[in-house]
Chains A and B, each alone.
Chain A
């Protein structure tokens, strides 16, 4: 029987790794992820988890060891944050381009400088083009479920791409919430044992990662892109299959909330989405026609599906916990613009940036953003500069 528990987001990630029967976990401590690998260390020590557990000297070594184990056909797992992800970028990129389908949890963290250990999505968003599938969880239950789904997506024969399950550092990683922990039999029925190809095999010797000329390199990349395209379907299918097996869905690629008749849309990602739904409800109560779309899958980007959802609206605003230097806007905003462009939709847009370095995104911030989206709709034109969701935004409102 599934059991109801009270778990932090990090504990959810650790429980998911246990339920997925991963062969090897490699961990290096970094805030705010550390308690993921600590929980795993405790479960391995207590005999509740049979994985090997390796503690090397750096994140670069973590991902390199995982690549070694992955090439041997193992199902592997780790978790990191911020600077740790930046330090492992070299093997991180080659994990996806070598097509080793692992799952990694990321408790997101702002990037330095100046120094911070707090929340933000700059770490994850900065590696969005490194060839991994990126899922963003909105609550603790979704962290646990997305990691289980993640292995099925990653190891799907049409995909074979690693999956990054990202969740807001501290807001989800350290917050305790009610979570349904599925039983092992149910997960085993959903996720078959790891049957990955062993790249390194003494009976069939091969060289992995030899120096590759451009034409052949482009074939590799073309194949990777084609698999990414297929992954769009697989992410949605796996969530649907999960819903059938476990009785709860996480909306596949994009979650929608009160969008059917909405003239104005706010696009969100991650844990802020719950607060944003409250802001949408409050705006609706005042008679405003507004709805919400949450991006769950950032890579591959569901541009077509998002474009279809945004057709016929009067204004679209996007809230980011990251910045795109040189665009004076947030990163999910850019992605949304691309989806609108691809769909040939001309609609007033707005980029709002908040929650950097652990700043709160409160309902009043989001309410103000909804007001500004409404202003865009009335004016019939986009806002050129990003809206900063800080106290100035709120004091402007009070004036």
Chain B
């Protein structure tokens, strides 16, 4: 792992935008660290990375990193990212969203970004709740969980982001947690390097809005949960079905190498231009 202080000075707006707004125990700062380590590991220049963020606590990360960054509207980060990638396919476009952002209000954009395989990396920071607005149920709030809008337990089922993105046609799909930091660094770096649409679901606890209402004694408890209730995909696959249902698999689920839409579109334009007859 690289020297953290050095990276902070290199990649963050460290002297302008801090202290950050994240609550004690929030996992989002760890994702921020993973993100800059991955970009450093890939030896990308700051100027070739575009970070497109949505609305919510995770959206603050666009304020902190010293890349090209855009703070967009709620749920729409992937559409802005699509426009940026199509305009300049050489850029590494990362859309960083929360679960409320990517899978609730913006779910439609996510399935279509995956289906058309646009060369964008989607990082979804899943804390199972609308954190910034005060802890209301989102599309990833587990059934039975208590929230500000579900005091007797959430009646709806939650999305399985990995299955959803896989079924929708994403090239790369992975899931990590803020507890498994080395793995997360690797998952993000791989997703950014792979062609086409890549989604990384990142389990990032929200003690303030979710944990306190759902029998977690502390933020540490939530990190322990990430440690004890998850299994690397390879070992999860060996488990009997009843054990599988109880544990959350983490790792890389899909690693396709199909070229992204922007590449196919660029090739088509080149082909048509070459066929054009001189007047």
- Chain A residues with CB under 8 Å of chain B are 27-31, 34-35, 37-38, 41-42, 45, 53, 55, 57-59, 83, 87, 112, 115
Q: Which of B71, B104, B133, B148 contacts A58 (CB 8 A)?
A: B104
Q: Which of A27, A42, A87 contacts B151 (CB 8 A)?
A: A42
- Minimum distance in angstroms from A97 CB to a CB of chain B: 25
- B130, A58: Cβ atoms under 8 Å? no
Tell me which residues across on chain B come within 8 A of A34, comparing CB atoms: 133-134, 136
- Minimum distance in angstroms from A47 CB to a CB of chain B: 11
Pull 6 A–B residue pairs with CB atoms less than 8 Å apart, ordered by A. Answer: A38-B148, A41-B151, A57-B105, A57-B107, A57-B139, A87-B74
Tell me which residues across on chain A come within 8 A of B148, comparing CB atoms: 38, 41
Does residue B218 face the partner (Cβ distance < 8 Å to A)? no
Tell me which residues across on chain A come within 8 A of B126, comparing CB atoms: none
- B151, A31: Cβ atoms under 8 Å? no
- A53, B149: Cβ atoms under 8 Å? yes
Q: Contacts A28-B105, A31-B133, A57-B107 given; 17 further ones with Cβ under 8 A?
A: A30-B133, A31-B132, A34-B136, A35-B134, A37-B149, A38-B134, A38-B136, A38-B148, A41-B151, A55-B137, A55-B150, A57-B105, A58-B104, A58-B105, A83-B73, A87-B105, A115-B71
Tell me which residues across on chain A come within 8 A of B107, comparing CB atoms: 57
Does residue B152 face the partner (Cβ distance < 8 Å to A)? yes
Tell me which residues across on chain B come within 8 A of A87, comparing CB atoms: 73-74, 105
- B152, A58: Cβ atoms under 8 Å? no
Tell me which residues across on chain B come within 8 A of A29, comparing CB atoms: 130, 133-134, 136
Nearest A residue (CB) for B155: A55
Does residue B205 face the partner (Cβ distance < 8 Å to A)? no
Tell me which residues across on chain B come within 8 A of A58, comparing CB atoms: 75, 104-105
When A and B form their complex, which 7 residue pairs have the shortest distance between CB atoms, in order from nearest? A29-B133, A45-B151, A58-B105, A57-B104, A29-B136, A34-B133, A41-B149
Tell me which residues across on chain A come within 8 A of B139, comparing CB atoms: 57
Tell me which residues across on chain B come within 8 A of A42, comparing CB atoms: 151
Interface residues of B in 96-142 (CB under 8 A from A): 104-105, 107, 130, 132-134, 136-137, 139
With most chain B CB atoms within 10 A of its CB, the pick from A34, A41, A53, A55 is A55
- B104, A38: Cβ atoms under 8 Å? no
Secondary structure at chain B's binding surface: helix, strand, loop or mixed? loop
Tell me which residues across on chain A come within 8 A of B149, comparing CB atoms: 27, 37-38, 41, 53, 55
- Chain B residues with CB under 8 Å of chain A are 55, 71, 73-75, 104-105, 107, 130, 132-134, 136-137, 139, 148-152
* Bound form: Cα–Cα A27–B107 in Å: 18
Nearest B residue (CB) for A27: B149
* Bound form: Cα–Cα A174–B222 in Å: 31
* Bound form: Cα–Cα A182–B71 in Å: 44
Tell me which residues across on chain B come within 8 A of A27, comparing CB atoms: 136, 149
With most chain A CB atoms within 10 A of its CB, the pick from B137, B148, B149, B152 is B149
* Bound form: Cα–Cα A27–B150 in Å: 12
- Minimum distance in angstroms from B100 CB to a CB of chain A: 8
- Minimum distance in angstroms from B111 CB to a CB of chain A: 13
Nearest B residue (CB) for A41: B149
Nearest A residue (CB) for B105: A58
With most chain A CB atoms within 10 A of its CB, the pick from B75, B130, B148 is B148
- B73, A112: Cβ atoms under 8 Å? yes
- Minimum distance in angstroms from B30 CB to a CB of chain A: 24
Nearest A residue (CB) for B141: A55
* Bound form: Cα–Cα A27–B149 in Å: 9
Tell me which residues across on chain A come within 8 A of B136, comparing CB atoms: 27, 29, 34, 37-38, 55
Nearest A residue (CB) for B106: A58
* Bound form: Cα–Cα A31–B148 in Å: 15
* Bound form: Cα–Cα A30–B74 in Å: 10
* Bound form: Cα–Cα A55–B133 in Å: 14
Nearest B residue (CB) for A61: B105
* Bound form: Cα–Cα A35–B149 in Å: 11
Tell me which residues across on chain B come within 8 A of A38, comparing CB atoms: 134, 136, 148-149
Tell me which residues across on chain A come within 8 A of B152, comparing CB atoms: 45
**Contact (A83, B74) CB under 8 Å given A42-B151, A58-B105:** yes
- Minimum distance in angstroms from A90 CB to a CB of chain B: 14
Nearest B residue (CB) for A55: B149
* Bound form: Cα–Cα A37–B152 in Å: 16
* Bound form: Cα–Cα A31–B75 in Å: 15
Tell me which residues across on chain B come within 8 A of A28, comparing CB atoms: 105
Nearest A residue (CB) for B139: A57
With most chain A CB atoms within 10 A of its CB, the pick from B55, B107, B152 is B55
Nearest B residue (CB) for A45: B151
Tell me which residues across on chain A come within 8 A of B55, comparing CB atoms: 83
Nearest A residue (CB) for B130: A29
Tell me which residues across on chain B come within 8 A of A53, comparing CB atoms: 149
* Bound form: Cα–Cα A370–B75 in Å: 44
* Bound form: Cα–Cα A81–B75 in Å: 16
- Minimum distance in angstroms from B201 CB to a CB of chain A: 18
Tell me which residues across on chain A come within 8 A of B75, comparing CB atoms: 58
- Minimum distance in angstroms from B129 CB to a CB of chain A: 10
- Minimum distance in angstroms from A39 CB to a CB of chain B: 10
Tell me which residues across on chain B come within 8 A of A37, comparing CB atoms: 136, 149
Tell me which residues across on chain A come within 8 A of B134, comparing CB atoms: 29, 34-35, 38
- Minimum distance in angstroms from A174 CB to a CB of chain B: 12
Tell me which residues across on chain A come within 8 A of B130, comparing CB atoms: 29
Tell me which residues across on chain A come within 8 A of B137, comparing CB atoms: 55
- Minimum distance in angstroms from B218 CB to a CB of chain A: 24
Tell me which residues across on chain A come within 8 A of B104, comparing CB atoms: 57-58
* Bound form: Cα–Cα A170–B260 in Å: 45
Tell me which residues across on chain A come within 8 A of B71, comparing CB atoms: 115
- Minimum distance in angstroms from A243 CB to a CB of chain B: 36
Tell me which residues across on chain A come within 8 A of B151, comparing CB atoms: 41-42, 45
- Minimum distance in angstroms from A35 CB to a CB of chain B: 7
* Bound form: Cα–Cα A53–B55 in Å: 24
